[in-house]
Structure 1
Amino acid sequence: MRTLSGLTGNVSIPKAGAGLSAGWVTEGQQLSESEMDFDSVTLSPKHVGGITEMSRQLLQQSAPGIEDLVREDLSFAIANAVDTAIIAGTGTLGQPKGIIGRTGVQTGDLPASWTDVLDIEQMLTGLNITPSGWYTSPAVMTALRKVLKSASAGADYIATTGRIGELAAASSNAAPVDTAILGDWSQVLLGQWGAVELLVNPYAETPYRRGGVLVRAMSTVDVAIRHEKAFVVATKVP
């Protein structure tokens, strides 16, 4: 996906609409004009963060690098929250709106055969969209790795460790259960306002009374999709 960093304020990103056409002309003949309709998507700051207490005993008994480890863990938690929002953010309670459930995104059935995989690919290539890869859960990947493309001798399996068919595939336990997404991931925009902010507070009243300190991590980001039809969200048939 595309990352836009160093943003300030809300950012409007154009996405191409319909209306542009081309035609053939003879020598000296004028080209006919066509107007392109433009829409836009807006990135606006949304905040994600976490906070934890480092106890006095932890500070005294641990190696000097314990604070760095806590910071890394908090940063990882934020990154995981952002990844989850890109896929399935609700668009409410301060979250960005993810791919799943977004208006305009194509939907289909979770593939169970090689024909199903090709049919999902065709949903994109039929619109002149070149998919760059799949995203799904480890359980779905494992299931597809057990299925042969055909009953013929020597047939390959639908999926391998990092591919579904001929396309790259990534899996994560953060993916929704029984869901696979195929798409052109360059159409995902991740906007960032500054870097991850890490702050240690040794004076917060309750931890201070216990001899501990607080460590807080926050990040400001947003997610936008330039072309919703560039994604197919395939889910298990009830």
Structure 2
Amino acid sequence: MLESVKIQRRQSEIRQALAELVGKSELTEDETRSMETLDREYRSNETRYRAALIAEDAERREAGEDLETRSEREYSELIDRFELRQVALALDEGRPLDGPTAEVVQELRSQGGYRGVPVPWQALEVRAGETVSTATPDPVQTRPIIDRLFPQSVAGRMGAQMVSIDSGSVEWPVTTQGATVGWQATETGDVAAPQAFQTADRPLKPDHTLGVQMVLTRKALKQSGAALEQAVRRDMNAAIGAAMDRAVFLGSGASGEPLGVIAGAATYGIASTAVGAAASWAAFRAEVTAFMVANAASSPSAVRLLIRPEVWDALDDTVFDAGSGITEWDRLVKHIPAGNVAMSSNALDAPAGGPPAESSALLTTATGGVAPIFVGTWGAVDLIRDPYSKAASGALTLTALATMDVTVARPAQLRVLTGIQ
């Protein structure tokens, strides 16, 4: 029991005793001494009561902070012990889920409807190592959600932010018109006239569902838990990661695909520049300069660059200064760190046209802590079983459904280059 509650109860008893004494017309010496003792105790308890409240208030705040984070921490610990092996055996043999896996699945089902067994996105982590004890994997590596899902994702390297959505649509209001500023021209003149504060909404909608199918052979199902864990994680991670990267940049916006930032540059309002010349640092420098002029980036090191491997080959093969041997690639990474340069043959279309063939590139930057690209995912991955199509071989076909979308908050944080020869 709290000390303040104990003191309150004692104060109530003292008041009751004093009320009985005060009601008497004549008091004995013992009753008078008792009244004085109770009065001193009451005054002393008032001081103790205030001190107890101060101490308990600090304890409540500490306990409140712990309670606010405890649920998320406990859920994260449960996901760390989530076993895809149990999901596969439950779908194949009807084996009941148990332990942390059952708790996570029950929690996901309470938040949304799934035809199959829901699998949290975090469970798709390709773990660097496992410490197996009594067949329970114990992950030794924990990373942020977008890195944990796809550590080598091009979207992640280009600054895209993964947004987890339970249900419905999410919009990102972006200011398009705001405060005005201006000096008072004369002593009696007015300052700049006000204008309405306006925003434009950049929505993420659950209109695009990605399907991933995999076949687990009977041999794989009978293998040890850790082996199946890694096999399923690698397959699903690689398939979803590759499809997500391509959709983020090259999605057509039709046939179920979300609209990618390069394919939909005109729709998003992203500036696109046709180079029409050989790959060079000068072409990229012009776009970096445009970022800084628009206050989107403070320096070239704040810019991220996505290019095709063929463009890197051309840059590294073009010598800018024959005497020193400095190439166009050397000039580029001198200003844009090599860690900010992503090369992908999946996120960008293959060079076409020509000769010479032409390619595209994308530059992004994060401004004011706002990511240039948002990738929304809804709920968890819905894992559905099909034991019939491969029944003759005893294999199990799994279909994983993942709903996701792509949007751009501020077009000024992205720039597209086309016609790089």
TM above 0.5: yes
Greater RCO, CA 8 A, separation 6+? 1
| Residue 113 (structure 1) aligned to one of 261, 273, 280 | 280
Higher strand residue share: 1
Per the alignment, residue 41 of structure 1 pairs with 202
How far apart in 2 are the matches of 1:234 and 1:164? 20
| Residue 99 (structure 1) aligned to one of 261, 282, 307 | 261
Give the CA deviation at 1:165: 3.8
How far apart in 1 are the matches of 2:278 and 2:296? 19
Asked whether the equivalents of residues 97 and 223 of structure 1 are also in contact (C-alpha less than 8 Å), the reply is yes
Any stretches of 5+ residues in structure 2 without a counterpart? 1-159, 351-358
Higher helix residue share: 2
Give the CA deviation at 1:74: 1.7
How far apart in 1 are the matches of 2:200 and 2:235? 39
Q: Counterpart of 1:138 in structure 2: which amino acid?
A: P
Any stretches of 5+ residues in structure 1 without a counterpart? none
How far apart in 2 are the matches of 1:47 and 1:58? 28
How far apart in 2 are the matches of 1:237 and 1:138? 12
Asked whether the equivalents of residues 272 and 416 of structure 2 are also in contact (C-alpha less than 8 Å), the reply is yes
SS at structure 2 position matched to 1:195: strand
The answer to whether residue 158 in structure 2 is matched with residue 158 in structure 1 is no
SS at structure 2 position matched to 1:35: coil
Task: Using structure 1 for the length normalisation, give the TM-score.
Answer: 0.83
Q: Residues 156 and 129 of structure 1: is their aligned pair in 2 closer, same or farther, counting only changes over 3 Å?
A: farther
Give the CA deviation at 1:43: 0.5
Q: Residues 144 and 118 of structure 1: is their aligned pair in 2 closer, same or farther, counting only changes over 3 Å?
A: same
Per the alignment, residue 373 of structure 2 pairs with 188
Q: Counterpart of 1:169 in structure 2: which amino acid?
A: V
Instruction: Give the count of matched residue pairs.
Output: 233
Question: How far does the alpha carbon of each residue in 1:179-237 deviate from its partner, in whole angstroms, 9 at most, with x for none?
Answer: 211122522111121233445x3x52222233111222222211100122332211226
% identity of equivalent residues: 23
Asked whether the equivalents of residues 207 and 213 of structure 1 are also in contact (C-alpha less than 8 Å), the reply is yes
How far apart in 2 are the matches of 1:115 and 1:79? 32
Per the alignment, residue 233 of structure 1 pairs with 416
How far apart in 1 are the matches of 2:379 and 2:272? 34
Give the CA deviation at 1:133: 0.7
Task: Using structure 2 for the length normalisation, give the TM-score.
Answer: 0.49
Q: Residues 155 and 218 of structure 1: is their aligned pair in 2 closer, same or farther, counting only changes over 3 Å?
A: same
Asked whether the equivalents of residues 59 and 66 of structure 1 are also in contact (C-alpha less than 8 Å), the reply is no
Q: Which has the larger radius of gyration?
A: 2
